Amino acid sequence: MLKLFSRFLSVGIINTLIHWMVFAALYSMSIRQWLANLLAFIVAVTFSFFANARWTFKAEATTFRYVIFVAFMGMMAAGIGSFADHTHINPIITLISFSIISLIFGFIYSNFIVFKVKK
């Protein structure tokens, strides 16, 4: 499990860089945090999904798996961004919070649902 998490974390670091760069670009164009966070997530999650399918979980990257992964994680991205908008949280706090929360819940969701590791 530690090896899987280490690989997931490695992909997550690259995913986070992609997410943050897209979020910053969109937010600088006056796009609201909830939408900037959701769009940045969608861009980054595509990389993350395929990298984790192939490298972390060594599983087939199917359309169904992609859809359920993006739907779950996208709702989380939009929810955190929406909360940040309503409470006027600084965008950097939004990014850090989402990065931590999505790492933890993304791994659990990927490992036990999306890519379901066979014991």
pLDDT of 119 reads: 46
pLDDT score recorded for residue 95: 81
Name the burial class of residue 118, with classes exposed (0-12), middle (13-18) and buried (19+) by CB atoms within 10 angstroms of its CB. exposed
**One-letter amino acid for residue 31 of the chain:** I
Q: pLDDT value at position 118? A: 55
The whole-number pLDDT of residue 1 equals 84
pLDDT of residue 92: 87
Q: Is 97 helix (H, G, I), strand (E, B) or coil?
A: helix
pTM (two decimals): 0.80
Residue 33 has a pLDDT of 83
Do residues 100 and 13 lie in contact, with contact meaning Cβ atoms separated by under 8 Å? no
Question: How many CB atoms within 10 Å of residue 4?
Answer: 17
In the numeric block, which tokens belong to residue 49? 């999904």
Helix axes 63-87, 33-51, angle to 10 degrees: 150
For every one of its 119 residues, what pLDDT tens digit does the chain have, with 9 covering 90 and above? 889 999 999 999 999 899 889 999 999 999 998 888 778 888 999 999 999 999 999 999 999 999 999 999 888 888 998 999 899 999 889 888 988 998 999 999 999 999 985 54
